[in-house]
Structure formats: structure tokens, C-alpha cells
Amino acid sequence: MYPKGMYVPLFIAIVAIFVSTSFMVLDHLTFKVHRSHHHHDDKKTNQSICDSFTPNFPTIDPSTTSILCVDHNGCCNFTTVQAAVDSVGNFSAIRSLIWINSGIYFEKVIVPKSKPNITFQGQGYTSTAIIYNDNANSSHGTFNSGSVQVFSTNFIAKNISFMNVAPVPGPGAVGAQAVAIRIGGDQAAFWGCGFFGAQDTLHDDRGRHYFKECYIQGSIDFVFGNGKSLYENCQLTSIASPGSRSINGAVTAHGRASKEEDSGFAFVNCNVGGTGRIWLGRAWRPFSTVVFANTFMADIISPEGWNDLNDPLRDQTIFYGEYNCSGVGSNMAQRAFYVQRLNDTQALPFLNSSFIDADLWLQSFSN
């Protein structure tokens, strides 16, 4: 399901080298690509790169879906993803499938509330990536730092990566949080996608969301927010500093603030690995709710497993559960006292797509 060995880290290393934090470097590289594309008068290379462009557009019903094409070499109507998003009519009733060719798209993308029913379809999460390098300092807050920000409903992404390549924060760094994607709309679904960053990679902000066979990488709170989301068959990879005896990372930081809110994260049939010494979750807010079920956990998980942010009052209201997990990190013998070892009945509501009311919306996205 996932690339073996060092393939994904190598992919990210290449991206990081390509995308310098200097816009001048990026502009220069982009210019060279476009310049070579327009050398039609060169006798030795009189063919355009677009002559061999053969997009694998999916079969669609034009009465319900339209296709927009994005290619950074200029072989489509759009060279940026944002331009394609902007071209979609406000509150369109039909789905707009934005087909994005292989390549690196260095841009900040916003899908506003007025643009529902949009699909981003890449060519593989190690082939197509939208990336940017904002952090909390540069964007006036963590929530604004996302390379991609989705506020509309019924958003879909398939086979594409979302990255933030801001510098990885050191211990005690202030304002270095850097979000790869913020998902603030209801009914969003992601298939075969990648999410890459360090601190606060995936901002699962609010609404019901579904993630299937995705790769999620980060160090501290790299899945955070107040969404109600199901993660199935996903790889969660910590890049926290290796060799540390102290805890230096966390997978989740769920932000449920009250009993009345209906939110939580459920991780089912997932795999947690990587480097560092990490918690499964930190209680960002008092009613933080996270469950791991049927998940393999490597030995990077600290024995206590979870953290209440040194607020004993939260121990009475947070809901942290584990069910039928495996691997060295799943040993619950020394778990914090407030962590629940779920039985079959307690785990059942978290184990399938009914957790996110999928019967009301998800089935129409999976075609």
C-alpha cells in the first residue's frame, strides 16, 4: 500500500531541495521549464513537451461533472491549481473535477465556501504535490499557515500530496507551526493522499471527513483540530528527532471543547511508526476524543501513551480509547489511568463509516 524503505522520505528530500524558501530560486526554475517549452524554432528540438501529453481523464457524466485540467508546463487550460479553482462557478450544483498532472505546484491554494463539490485528482501522491512554506509567524497564526485551505463542502482529493516545507522547528521554537492542509468544510473525503509537514501537518479543523489509504507525516500534533473524522488503513509516520529519551512528539491533538460538540478522531486498521518518542495524543481541549483500533504501533509510542497537558481536570472529560491494537507500542500495561481499553461494544461506534454518518454522503464520492 505504501512505498517501502526510504522512498517517501527520499521523495520529500527531493521536494525540499527543489523548493527553496527563496522565491527567486523557484521563479528561476519555473522560467527555465517554460523557456524550454517555447523553443519551437530550435532545429534539434522542434517538438513541444505537450506533443506527448496524454491525460488519463476519468470517464464522467457531463451532466453531473465537468473536468478542468492543470499542468505546470502549460499543456492544459491552467498552470496553477488556484486558477482552476477560481474558474469554478459559485455554488455550482455539478462536481468540478480538477485533474492535476504530475509535478510540484508551489502555490497557496484556497477553496472558499462558495466553491462546493470540487475534486482534486492527482497522478499519485508521490508524483503530484501542492506545497508552500508558510508558518504561524509568516501567516499571522497557525490556522492561516496551510498550503491548502478548504472551506467548502463536499470536497474530494485523490492521489495527491499536500505539503508544507517550512523549516522543521527546533525545541522550544515559537511560531514555527506549519500546516499542509486545513479542512474546514463538512463532508470531505481523501483517497490515497499524502500529508507532509512537521508540527501541525494536518489541520482536521471541523466537519465530517474520511481518509482512506493516506500517508500522514509529522512530528508534533501532526493530526489536530476539532473534526469528526475516520482514518482507515492510513500510515502515520513520526519524524520527531530520533534517539531522544524524552517525549518529543505526538500524533494527535484533538480540540473538542465541550460535551455538546460532536467530534472526534477514529483511526482504524492504521500503522503508527517512524522516529522519536511520542504520544498517541495530547488533550488540546478538555473533551478531546481519539480512538485507535486494530492499529499497529511501533516501539516509538511512550508507555503512558497519552498526555493531558498537565491538567488533571481534563482526565475526567477526555475520551482516549484503544482497541485490539498490536505491536510493541500497543502495550497498555503502563498507560495513563484515564485511557480506556475498549471492549467490543464500546469500540463498535468507531470502527466503520457510520461514525461519520457516511450513509448520508460518502457513497456518492467513491465512484
Please name the helix (run of DSSP H) or strand (run of DSSP E) that holds residue 202, with its range, or none.
Answer: strand 202-203
Mark whether 205 is an active-site residue: no
Question: CA-to-CA distance for 272 and 196, rounded, in angstroms?
Answer: 15
- Cα angle 364, 366, 367; round to 5: 85
Contacts 24+ apart (CB under 8 A), 60-69: 60/97, 63/94, 64/94, 64/95, 65/94, 65/95, 65/96, 65/97, 66/94, 66/95, 66/96, 66/97, 67/97, 67/99, 68/96, 68/97, 68/98, 68/99, 69/99, 69/101
Q: How many residues does the chain have?
A: 367
Q: Is 200 helix (H, G, I), strand (E, B) or coil?
A: coil
- Alpha-carbon distance of 255 to 72, in angstroms, equals 37
Residue type present at position 281: G
Vertex 143 angle, CA 138 and 147, to 5°: 65
Q: What is the C-alpha separation between 165 and 355, in angstroms, rounded?
A: 33
CA 323 to centroid of chain Cα atoms:
24
Given 71, 205, 221, 308, the catalytic residue: 221
The residues annotated as belonging to the active site are 221
